[in-house]
Amino acid sequence: MSVAGVRRALQESVSGLPREFWWLWTSTLVNRLGAFVATFMALYLTLERGYSASYAGLVAALHGLGGVVSALGAGVMTDRLGRRPTMLIAQTSTAVSVAVLGFMVDPVAIAAVAFVVGMASNASRPAVQAMMADIVRPEDRVRAFSLNYWAINLGFAVSSAGAGFVAEYSYLAGFLGEAAMTLICAVVVFVKVPESRPVPGTWPGKDGAPGRTVADGVAAGRAGEVRLSTVLRDGRFMSVVGLSFVIALIFQQGYVGLPVAMGADGFSSSDFGTAIAVNGVLIVVLQIPVTRFIEHRDPRRLLVVSSLLAGYGFGLTAFAGSVAVYALSICVWTVAEIVNSPIQTGLVVRLSPAQGRGRYQGMYTMSWSAAALVAPLMSGQVIDRFGAQWLWGACAVLGTGAALGYWLLMRNLQGESAAALDGGAAAAGVRAGNGGSGSAGSSERVGSAERVECVASEGGTRNGSATPSASEHTSVESG
């Protein structure tokens, strides 16, 4: 592509989005630039404090448990209290709890505060995802989520490498740095970002204009009654959530199993920071080109292939003996992440009704939080009892199982569902993230069949640009 073509593509990517989005984007970037705890907690506990891998896994699991507990509650808060208040409460609580965690020395106190940090840091994700869907027109959401996830991974790449060197000097400085950056995010949201929650009894039309009254009788009643039970009864959505959990369980090993394994092999925190930064750099560089390559291909096949790449990418880690080989294995599962996330999150986006965005996003976020809870326990126990090689072998088995699950799910999703998937794939672009992760879709109806019908009709109208995706990671994931 020529320089003029690159300049034109860049201009098209950033133009036409509301000012509020850019302030939200800025807060996301600042937050990810300060990321430290989730990435370096295992190294901090094993190398700095001298605890076992099992204890490090327990603390990380409690951090994940906090996220599980807060995900659904934050989703309800997002729908009832509002997006902005939920973000402010979550970010302020995160800043305070992260700073306190840096001063804890007693093992029980460390575990307790880590649980609180997990609750607070995860609580903002449903609100951020719902707000982005609120303030951006449906035809621009793909670009918006792509840009937001670009910010997530740019911040992650910089912070991973930088925080590794900060940890060589002082782990406490890393904790206080994250607390300060998170507090800055809260200030940005308080000063610049207005509330965006739709007025009860209205829903946005397909043109993105808010305030269209729901007057379709039964649809109106259902639109006002989106509860957690509604989400749980949505079998198609819950199937995606379950497979998301398996995939997240694999990707989480990059942040809980991998640092412990590298530390046991004699590598330093800066070595790990350099290796894991490859993940963020590759996503920043490759997510747009890869998305353009896959956007017109069979999404069912891509989900299967990406699951296998994820499992066997981590499986390759069993043969790593140098930072270069570790980085090579990270390249493999990063490609899997780039491919899997837009397709999977495209499903989540389109299955999330406007009136229940917070609850749907909370449930999806919970799948990643649950993986963050289980993954440390799994990695700690397996590494302590059997060795890291068995952990990487287990990842390969999980990847194979996820591939089989996607194949069965997609084989059974025919007719309406297949049309929706194909439409979503054509629009699917780069992840939106947290992690993970995903945002509300363009369909505004609550019933699964109605949502699928709406997606199928809209899929062909997208202009081939990239779509949002799941995780924060990491995760999805998200910041």
5 token code pair: 């073509």
Question: CB–CB of 437/431 below 8 Å?
Answer: yes
Sign of CA dihedral 440, 444, 449, 453: negative
Question: CB–CB of 371/470 below 8 Å?
Answer: no
pLDDT for res 454 = 36
Query: For residue 228, which amino acid is it?
Result: L
Question: CB–CB of 317/329 below 8 Å?
Answer: yes
pTM of whole model > 0.75? no
pLDDT for res 327 = 92
If one counts every other C-beta atom within 10 angstroms of the C-beta of residue 12, the result is 12
Residues (pLDDT < 70) of the chain are 1-13, 139, 142-143, 146, 199-225, 291-292, 295-296, 345-347, 349, 412-479
Rounded to whole angstroms, the Cα distance separating 460 from 466 reads 14
Question: CB–CB of 185/128 below 8 Å?
Answer: no
* Residues contacting 292, CB < 8 A, separation 6+: 464, 466
* Residues contacting 135, CB < 8 A, separation 6+: 18, 20, 21, 24, 196
pLDDT for res 42 = 78
Going from the C-alpha of 421 to that of each of 245, 256, 297, 453, the distances in angstroms are 20, 33, 11, 11
Q: How many CA atoms lie within 13 A of 17 on its CB side?
A: 24
Rg of the chain (C-alpha set): 21
Rounded to whole angstroms, the Cα distance separating 394 from 89 reads 38
pLDDT for res 264 = 84
195 token code pair: 């509330």
Rounded to whole angstroms, the Cα distance separating 136 from 134 reads 6
255 token code pair: 């942040």
* Residues contacting 374, CB < 8 A, separation 6+: 61, 64, 249
* Residues contacting 89, CB < 8 A, separation 6+: 77, 123
Q: Where are the beta strands (DSSP E) in 337-423?
A: none
pLDDT for res 3 = 63
Sign of CA dihedral 312, 317, 322, 324: positive
Query: For residue 428, which amino acid is it?
Result: A
